Chain A
């Protein structure tokens, strides 16, 4: 009787266990969903979603963590009371948001690439345009330094972009852009102020061209900004040459040693060749003329110039140019072949009009 009871109890225990196992095995855990969610999160990471779709990726990650936490919570409960439905749902939500983050990241990345492409071109153009416009300007020392750094930053930005480091590329591009725009702005203003002298220069040039018509003489016109020298005859351009100037060419000559080419109406007073000049051939101008002397004295009186300052002299149009840089102490240099022509055409007494520019600021800006 007793042993029959034991057998019965044992059978009852085994049956209960079988029922429990059956019930438990029917409950599916969120493993598949979690694996899927983990895979999607990984895909999203590879697509740079943490950076380019931060919000959506954050939501996906939260859902994933919540799903895992819920799963762990359910596993801590008595086996019969576990319910994985919420964990499954959370894992599915994680998948959905991972996918959304992938799409958004691709879109944002493509936008970022496009925008960086444009910025690289824009900053590159700003640098090239600065070189074109102000490459031969007498730049301030600190500006040379900044521009040099800006060029290096630009190169670094292009390398960062090539290596997919977009944030770094953008930061460097923005720094380079700020520098080049600031410095360009400074010289643009300098140019604008310099070209305020245009009306007076224009009148001098027109007067000179008119003189070449009536007097049938050659007239030389020098445009410092454009680095051009024209020889006029009968009101028409007979020849045009490229020139080089003093390194500090912008503005009128103030004193000896300022490496500035004077501006005004001069004439050739002496022609030198055959060993009488170091620069192949040279046409000496009558600098300083009366106007220059008067201005120089006024500047000394006003204290703008030191009392020991000298006005300078020996301003010439000479040969040995064509070096591609502004290298003279204030003279105008032509290459030797062009100097031969000028030397032959222009006798002593030929009028030489030196102006800052033959174009107005508006004309130059619209070019």
Chain B
């Protein structure tokens, strides 16, 4: 009877001691932080910003839970370990999302640049169609300057793209495309009007 009593006491003391000594899951915390840092390095804060904020929020909450466990007499970090593992895999997903978004942007930038190139080539051809001689091309100087400005803006897009600033590159490319399209319409309009008036005379 006595032995059983002492064994029970020993178990209680062991349990208490074991609980009190439960270790903070530092390896899992480090792994989650590394995964978050990797996601950020992949540009998740820019290209998957909403999920990246959610990811950081989850990490903050887990750290709060861990601190809360540290406040307890009987500590248990098993739930937090699971959460941290979840965060690590979530971070990997966010990283992948950012990479995908970047790839998507790269493709769109190239597509837009190609469209711009076609538009600029078309604008150059239209300028060549413009009347020569006395009815000189000087009147088209504005349009020529705009084409030239568009061409140098395209170089800026390429630089932004090469520097990995895909969002800015895409925005700039969109603006150039919009302007090049407007220019093509303007130029076609001017030439059509010019030709129409020349034909009337003949």
**Residues of chain A having any CB pair with chain B under 8 Å:** 3, 7, 10, 13-14, 17, 20-21, 24-25, 27, 29, 31, 34-35, 38-39, 42, 45-46, 68, 71-72, 74-75, 79, 82, 84, 139, 141, 144-145, 147-149, 151-152, 155-156, 158-160, 163, 165, 168, 247, 259, 280, 319-329, 335-336
Q: What separation, in Å, do the CA atoms of A259 and B178 have in the docked complex?
A: 34
The 0/1 profile, CB within 8 Å of A marked 1, for residues 1-39 of chain B is: 010011001001100100000000000000000000000
Q: Which B residues lie within 8 Å of A29 (CB)?
A: 67-68, 71-72
B142 close to A (CB within 8 Å): yes
Interface of B, helix, strand, loop or mixed by DSSP: helix
Q: What separation, in Å, do the CA atoms of A194 and B68 have in the docked complex?
A: 80
**Residues of chain B having any CB pair with chain A under 8 Å:** 2, 5-6, 9, 12-13, 16, 53, 57, 60-61, 63-65, 67-68, 70-73, 131, 134-136, 138-142, 144-146, 148-150, 152-153, 168, 171-172, 174-176, 178-179, 190, 193-194, 197-198, 200-201
- Choose among A45, A144, A155 the residue that contacts B175 (Cβ–Cβ < 8 A): A155
Q: Which A residues lie within 8 Å of B12 (CB)?
A: 14
Interface of A, helix, strand, loop or mixed by DSSP: helix
Are A31 and B65 in contact, with the CB atoms below 8 A?
A: yes
Given contacts A144-B141, A148-B145, contact A328 B67 (CB under 8 A): no
- Choose among A27, A165, A327 the residue that contacts B136 (Cβ–Cβ < 8 A): A327
Q: Which B residues lie within 8 Å of A152 (CB)?
A: 149-150, 153, 175-176, 179
4 shortest interchain CB distances as A-B pairs: A148-B149, A144-B145, A325-B139, A29-B71
Q: What separation, in Å, do the CA atoms of A6 and B9 have in the docked complex?
A: 12
Could you pull out 17 A-B pairs where Cβ atoms are within 8 angstroms?
Answer: A13-B13, A25-B73, A35-B61, A38-B60, A79-B73, A144-B142, A149-B149, A151-B149, A152-B150, A159-B171, A159-B175, A163-B171, A247-B139, A280-B201, A322-B197, A323-B194, A327-B139
Are B200 and A336 in contact, with the CB atoms below 8 A?
A: yes
Are A75 and B190 in contact, with the CB atoms below 8 A?
A: no
Determine the residue in chain B with the shortest Cβ distance to A38: B60
| Minimum Cβ distance to chain B for residue A122 (Å) | 19
Q: Which A residues lie within 8 Å of B140 (CB)?
A: 325
| Minimum Cβ distance to chain B for residue A259 (Å) | 7
Are A71 and B67 in contact, with the CB atoms below 8 A?
A: yes
Are A75 and B134 in contact, with the CB atoms below 8 A?
A: no
Are B190 and A31 in contact, with the CB atoms below 8 A?
A: no
Are A20 and B190 in contact, with the CB atoms below 8 A?
A: no
Determine the residue in chain A with the shortest Cβ distance to B10: A10
| Minimum Cβ distance to chain B for residue A280 (Å) | 5
Given contacts A14-B12, A24-B73, A68-B67, contact A336 B148 (CB under 8 A): no
